[in-house]
């Protein structure tokens, strides 16, 4: 799966929790030595989503039997993103064939079960919504020969037929590094090809599933850009798992060397006590420094802040200005002028819970289980 929301805090979403938090490290190269046990800081608090538009969209989603990652993850930005015309859905089921230590999504072997109706169902449902940007994400499907690439491509093509003006991002797994699978997804012409590096090189063996690879993830992004140089590529990193700031900057440089255009960075929060602990809470000021370094490295856009998630509407607004400049400026459009976000302001309200990278997909199911077929 893919890192869209970063770790649901223990005990669920506590919207009124008090702040405090551990003191940040002042040495950029110092590695935090133990889990952070202090109360979560003030910048990790957020108001509950609400409002007429949020309620209307939620009711419409239920009517269409369409569940979003935004809700399943209890993402802190759900109200803001929905109001901006953006939603993230998961395809290919709710069972991942991998088990990463940051992720709360169910792990197992789907044994090749795929719903052949899903691409058209998802496209039909999304086409009925007042959305300008859709993120299609997926569980890892090592049980399928192509890792689910053709299924993703079919969904993109179906959606483009029904809503050609809608911008589409595919947030996908690594497809075991198969270039043909990557080319299949890219060939469907999503506006953004995204794959998340997740964590730094040093943390990859301990945090990601053993079948994941830091270098393979970089290769996936590199191959996607080679297949379609004009296509925007995007990746995301979690912080707070025990990495140093220098290691974060190294990973950002690795992504830029792979020709990645957009990078997002956000705070990891632990889904359950069984998952990897939070070692530190990174301050908004440090997120701002990541953003500054990212701009200096040459990324076209950097979204960096405690509440930032891989599918973050500020990055998507940037994509809109690139892919649909006329539409973005049109009166009444959901697209808003892009202002490079201040990391401090992004984290000003904070959050007590947001599902982990992939745990954003925790129990999403677009088609009832009875509709699954085996092949």
Contact 355, 2 (CB under 8 A): no
What are the structure tokens assigned to 177, written together? 């590094």
Three-state DSSP class for residue 155: helix
> Which residues are within 8 A (CB) of 284 and not within 5 positions of it... i.e. 6 or more apart?
43, 305, 306, 343, 344, 345, 346, 347, 348
Q: Is the CB of residue 198 less than 8 Å from the CB of residue 100?
A: yes
Q: Are 134 and 126 in contact (CB under 8 A)?
A: yes
Q: Is 305 in contact with 297 (CB distance < 8 Å)? A: no
Tens-of-pLDDT digits for all 375 residues of the chain?
Answer: 655 544 444 333 222 223 334 444 434 455 665 566 667 898 887 666 667 767 777 777 677 776 565 555 455 556 566 555 566 788 998 889 999 998 878 899 999 999 999 999 999 988 888 778 888 999 999 999 999 999 999 999 999 999 999 999 999 999 999 999 999 999 999 999 999 999 999 999 999 999 999 999 999 999 999 999 999 999 999 999 999 999 999 999 999 999 999 999 999 988 889 999 999 999 999 999 999 999 999 999 999 999 887 765 556 678 887 876 655 444 444 333 232 333 333 333 333 333 333 333 332 333 232 332 222
Q: pTM for the full model?
A: 0.77
Q: Are 304 and 347 in contact (CB under 8 A)?
A: no
Cα atoms in the Cβ-side hemisphere of radius 13 Å centred on 264:
31
Q: Cα(145)–Cα(5) distance, rounded to whole angstroms?
A: 28
Structure tokens at 62: 């239920």
- In sequence order, what DSSP letters do the residues of 83-101 get, joined into one string? HTTEEEEEES-S-BS---T
Q: With contact defined as beta carbons under 8 Å apart, do 352 and 49 qualify?
A: no
Q: Quote the CA–CA distance of 249 and 297 in Å, as a whole number.
A: 10
């Amino acid at each position: 799966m893919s890192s869209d929301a970063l770790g649901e805090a223990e005990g669920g979403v506590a919207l009124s929790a008090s702040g405090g938090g551990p003191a940040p490290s002042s040495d950029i190269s110092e590695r935090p030595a133990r889990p952070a046990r202090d109360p979560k800081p003030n910048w990790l608090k957020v108001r509950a989503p609400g409002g007429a538009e949020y309620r209307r969209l939620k009711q419409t989603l239920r009517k269409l039997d369409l569940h979003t990652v935004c809700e399943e993850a209890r993402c802190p930005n759900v109200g803001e993103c929905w109001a901006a015309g953006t939603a993230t859905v998961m395809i290919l089921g709710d069972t991942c064939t991998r088990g990463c230590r940051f992720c709360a999504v169910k792990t197992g072997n789907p044994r090749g079960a795929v719903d052949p109706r899903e691409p058209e169902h998802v496209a039909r449902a999304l086409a009925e919504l007042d959305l300008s940007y859709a993120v299609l994400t997926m569980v890892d499907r090592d049980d399928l020969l192509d890792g689910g690439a053709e299924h993703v491509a079919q969904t993109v093509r179906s959606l483009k037929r029904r809503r050609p003006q809608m911008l589409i991002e595919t947030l996908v797994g690594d497809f075991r590094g198969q270039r043909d699978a990557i080319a299949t997804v890219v060939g469907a012409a999503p506006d953004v090809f995204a794959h998340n590096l997740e964590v730094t090189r040093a943390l990859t063996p301990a945090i990601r599933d053993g079948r994941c690879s830091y270098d393979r993830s970089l290769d996936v992004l590199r191959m996607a850009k080679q297949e379609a140089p004009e296509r925007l590529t995007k990746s995301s990193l979690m912080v707070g798992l025990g990495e140093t700031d220098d290691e974060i900057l190294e990973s950002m440089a690795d992504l830029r060397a792979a020709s990645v255009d957009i990078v997002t960075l956000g705070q990891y929060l632990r889904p359950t006590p069984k998952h990897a602990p939070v070692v530190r809470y990174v301050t908004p000021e440090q997120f701002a420094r990541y953003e500054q370094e990212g701009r200096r490295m040459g990324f076209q856009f950097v979204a960096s802040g405690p509440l930032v998630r891989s599918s973050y509407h500020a990055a998507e607004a940037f994509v809109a200005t690139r892919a649909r400049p006329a539409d973005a400026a049109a009166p009444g459009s959901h697209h808003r002028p892009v202002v490079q976000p201040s990391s401090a302001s992004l984290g000003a309200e904070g959050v007590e819970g947001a599902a982990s990278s992939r745990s954003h997909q925790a129990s999403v199911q677009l088609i009832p289980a009875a509709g699954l077929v085996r092949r």
